[in-house]
Amino acid sequence: MTAPQRPRVPRRVLDGVLLLDKPIGLSSNDALIRAKRLYLAKKAGHTGTLDPLASGLLPLCFGEATKFSQDLLEADKTYEATMRLGIRTATGDAEGEAIETREVTCDEPAVVAAMARFRGDIVQVPPMYSALKRDGKPLYEYARAGQVVERAGRPVTIHVLEMLACALPDVTFRVTCSKGTYVRTLAEDIGEALGCGAHLVALRRTGVGALTLENAVTLDALSDAAEGERDRWLQPVDALLSTFPPVALDAEATRRFLHGQRLRLADLILSDEAANAERVRVYAADGRLLGVAKLGEGVLAPERLVVTAETAGT
């Protein structure tokens, strides 16, 4: 006799953004699965991965917010990291085995001077232990097989790079960087500039675009909270769009926008900031987020629309 099947727990239609403080040792996807289960959400996604070694800000998108997750993938990121000089590892971080040890002869001023060389536009060679693909296969699969694949350097921008603490051989620093930057590669390159090598021993993400850890919550806090209390940690969908200037539409323009029609800029009232932007976030007169749009050639063109109970009936 087969055991009766458990009744399926109904999933919620949920729209919003959760600023999660991901713990060390958990993959981004595992963190997403746990949060989605706690919220009983139908649809969820994350906005770029954090390695299991790393902790910190992992914005999770629910429902309509998933339409705008790409915008955070493109955003600058801020990290606090600690590198250990004198030891190179196979992976560039503490998860890999040591492959070379050198004496650390530099002092703090030398570290400060070396870090200054990596501010601004630089070229990074992606690490072998990364998810970048070559001939359809992730680089880390080649690395695990003992193969080294030639990789082209990629331009990235280091907006901020400052030392927070120096207790040699360990150096803690803050970095704000463009998308595609590998902080462990940055640590390795600084170590090479100092002549002793280095690897990353700690990494914590503190910012993604305009989002910070200030309003983030841990999985433990979510688990301990009563089911009805968890929604208080959800940010509105437009939390992902705070860098885009806002544009408000009247009722007729709202109707046309939601039907995907382009609107003449001459018919709209735009702030100077919005008028000079490439993309804007668009609202109805009552404050409802309608979506995002591109500006160009004298028109406001809908790009991605938000669908809610209210807008669906507009």
pLDDT digits (tens, 9 = 90+) for 87-145: 999 989 998 899 999 999 999 999 999 999 999 999 998 876 666 677 677 766 776 76
Q: Give residue 256's identity as a one-letter amino acid code.
A: R
* pLDDT value at residue 314: 45
CATH of the domain at 283: 2.30.130.10
Of 106, 108, 103, 96, which Cα lies nearest the Cα of 185? 96
Q: What stretches in the chain show pLDDT beneath 70?
A: 1-9, 128-132, 135, 139-140, 143, 145, 147, 308-314
* Spatial distance between the Cα atoms of 301 and 39, rounded to a whole number of angstroms: 34
State if pTM tops 0.85. Answer: yes
Question: In the structure encoding, which two tokens stand for residue 168, read together?
Answer: 């040699």
Residues 199 and 174 in one domain: yes
Summary mean pLDDT of the chain? 90
Residues 37 and 103 in one domain: no
Residues 51 and 81 in one domain: no
Residues 63 and 124 in one domain: no
Rg (CA), the chain: 23
| Dihedral over Cα of 45, 46, 48, 52: its sign | negative
CATH of the domain at 230: 3.30.2350.10
How many separate domains does the chain show?
A: 3
Catalytic site includes residue 51: yes
Tens of pLDDT along 152-169?
789 999 999 999 999 999
Residues 82 and 203 in one domain: yes
Residues 96 and 198 in one domain: yes
Domain presence at residue 5: no
Residues 155 and 257 in one domain: no
Residues 95 and 169 in one domain: yes
Q: Please, are residues 254 and 291 in contact by the beta-carbon 8 Å criterion?
A: no
Question: In the structure encoding, which two tokens stand for residue 314, read together?
Answer: 């507009």
Residues 81 and 184 in one domain: yes
Residues 70 and 81 in one domain: no
* pLDDT value at residue 48: 77
Q: Which domain holds residue 305?
A: 244-312
Residues 248 and 196 in one domain: no
Residues 248 and 100 in one domain: no
* pLDDT value at residue 46: 84
**Residue among 15, 21, 51, 189 flagged as catalytic:** 51
Q: Please, are residues 140 and 90 in contact by the beta-carbon 8 Å criterion?
A: no
* pLDDT value at residue 227: 79
